[in-house]
Structure 1
Amino acid sequence: MQTLLLTGFEPFDQDPINPSWEVVRLLDGWQLGADVQVVARRLPCAFATAGECLIQLIDQLQPAMVIATGLGPGRSAISMERVAINLNDARIPDNLGEQPIDAAVVADGPAAYFTTLPIKAMVKAVREAEIAATVSHTAGTFVCNQVFYLLQHALAASAVRSGFIHVPYLPEQVLASGTASMALETQVEGLRVALLAAWHTSVDVTETGGQVS
């Protein structure tokens, strides 16, 4: 049995829940096919420990594919991230109180890494399921981007495909503010469709365009 490692984050910024974990935990144990199973794990929202935790999971599980997820505040669609940059520049402290500014994720590392997932095929599949999805060209500069960068850095010399997906707030998190959100069951189904497309697509489609979000 092959493993698709799927990660989400613990809550941060005084919020009691993080949609990324609420979504991925519901896919833990799901079998994409006869020979591949999703293993969902939660990462700490902390610069000092998130990457280390992720690498330990990769070493332990030896996954055939890795997809990390995180909350994209203000986004209304499931966002397939294209690029991670070598920069930590936090607008708020993380869960350990750290707030790196203008700091490299990896000293002397490449300026950026691209996803190795077929993100346009994933977006196309999710949209065909009538769920909002987009290609994004910015994963931010908080812990999400750091995890995405460290993931690609760790697997750069391997055949394991990997990448990052941002998900919206849940409706109950934004009832008073009217901020963009997406229902939990919709996010779960959208991610399920995206995982199937990622696993079964060897060469990405050539849909035009993307969106910075």
Structure 2
Amino acid sequence: MFKTRTNKNIDVQNLPWAPERITSTRRLPHVFAQDELPQADKRGLAGARLFFSARTREASRVEHTAPMSGRDTVVVTGFGPFRQFLVNPSWRAAQGLKLIGLGERIDVCIKELPVSYVQTQRVIAEIWQTLHPKFVVHLGIARGSSVVTLEQTGKNRGYRDKDVRGHCPVSHCCVDEAPEELCSVIDMRAVSKQLKEEAGMDVVYSRDAGRYLCDFAYYCSLYHGQGRAALIHIPTSGGLASADRLVPLLQTLIRTMLPADRPVGDMKR
């Protein structure tokens, strides 16, 4: 298993990216409840979807520029609308990470993944083939959970639940004739243990991402990126469901995964 080199005496409150030390005046994306949609969009679900769709397209358009010389690109993905979530919390979290960043030498690029097997497979391939990122972080929701979950492995087979278009892979797998499972180069158990014990964060470790679109996207990314990816399931209940608390935690978490002293691809087993 690949491991990160981490600071054994981490103090989140004194880190430059701790919540109270973030100096950016840009606000995190606002979360609208259905009863507080803008007046122009209270004409029903169709109006709300048009409103949020426009916001999403606007946020996505800025992500196609090439990184500055000498900087690394980290791609963060969130999912599109799903069931009752007109704007998926994972996409809001990705937008928040774009706003506060991951460090001076990191260009953060965000991408929205449709809740569709075919489209997600295409977008993941394009990310690795065109952006050539150092690392890709996929965010997905864990409905009913109140903690952040770090997924170690992506599974290749067993995808039988239909996506929002009513489809599932014909062969019920991500990549034909590929390994049954792939692991991230990051030791998620070590990361979760460190942040839980030393920083008191609600972060847990998992080896079963659920065999739906999150797991599917993760496996495809691990396959294309030779393990240089992570899947983080974010909560939909409890205090961490708030973007103001969740996004700084995700920032700390991702920066812990990315050692500043060496490329991710140089980590040794």
1:194 corresponds, among 250, 253, 269, to 253
- Equivalent residue letter for 2:185: T
Identity of aligned residues (%): 23
Whether the 8 Å contact between 1:29 and 1:37 is mirrored in structure 2 is: no
Structure 2 residue 226 is matched with structure 1 residue 167:
no
Q: Give, in whole Å, the separation in 1 of the partners of 2:112 and 2:104.
A: 25
Q: Give, in whole Å, the separation in 2 of the partners of 1:17 and 1:29.
A: 17
Deviation at 1:11, TM superposition (A): 1.8
Q: Give, in whole Å, the separation in 1 of the partners of 2:101 and 2:242.
A: 23
Q: Give, in whole Å, the separation in 2 of the partners of 1:167 and 1:101.
A: 29
Deviation at 1:113, TM superposition (A): 0.5
Q: Give, in whole Å, the separation in 1 of the partners of 2:105 and 2:132.
A: 15
2:244 corresponds, among 179, 185, 190, to 185
Per the alignment, do residues 90 and 71 of structure 1 end up closer, same or farther by CA in structure 2, a change over 3 Å counting? farther
Deviation at 1:62, TM superposition (A): 1.2
Q: Which of structures 1 and 2 has the bigger CA Rg?
A: 2
Q: Give, in whole Å, the separation in 1 of the partners of 2:150 and 2:114.
A: 21
Identify the residue that residue 88 of structure 2 maps to in structure 1.
Answer: 18
Whether the 8 Å contact between 1:87 and 1:105 is mirrored in structure 2 is: yes
Q: Give, in whole Å, the separation in 1 of the partners of 2:76 and 2:138.
A: 6
Q: Give, in whole Å, the separation in 2 of the partners of 1:139 and 1:101.
A: 20
Per the alignment, do residues 161 and 183 of structure 1 end up closer, same or farther by CA in structure 2, a change over 3 Å counting? same
Q: RMSD of the alignment, in Å?
A: 2.4
Q: Give, in whole Å, the separation in 1 of the partners of 2:174 and 2:217.
A: 9
Deviation at 1:6, TM superposition (A): 0.8
Greater helix fraction, Structure 1 or Structure 2: 2
Identify the residue that residue 52 of structure 2 maps to in structure 1.
Answer: none
Structure 2 residue 210 is matched with structure 1 residue 145:
no
Identify the residue that residue 188 of structure 2 maps to in structure 1.
Answer: 119
Give unmatched runs, 5+ long, in structure 2: 1-70
- Total equivalences in the alignment: 192
Deviation at 1:31, TM superposition (A): 3.9
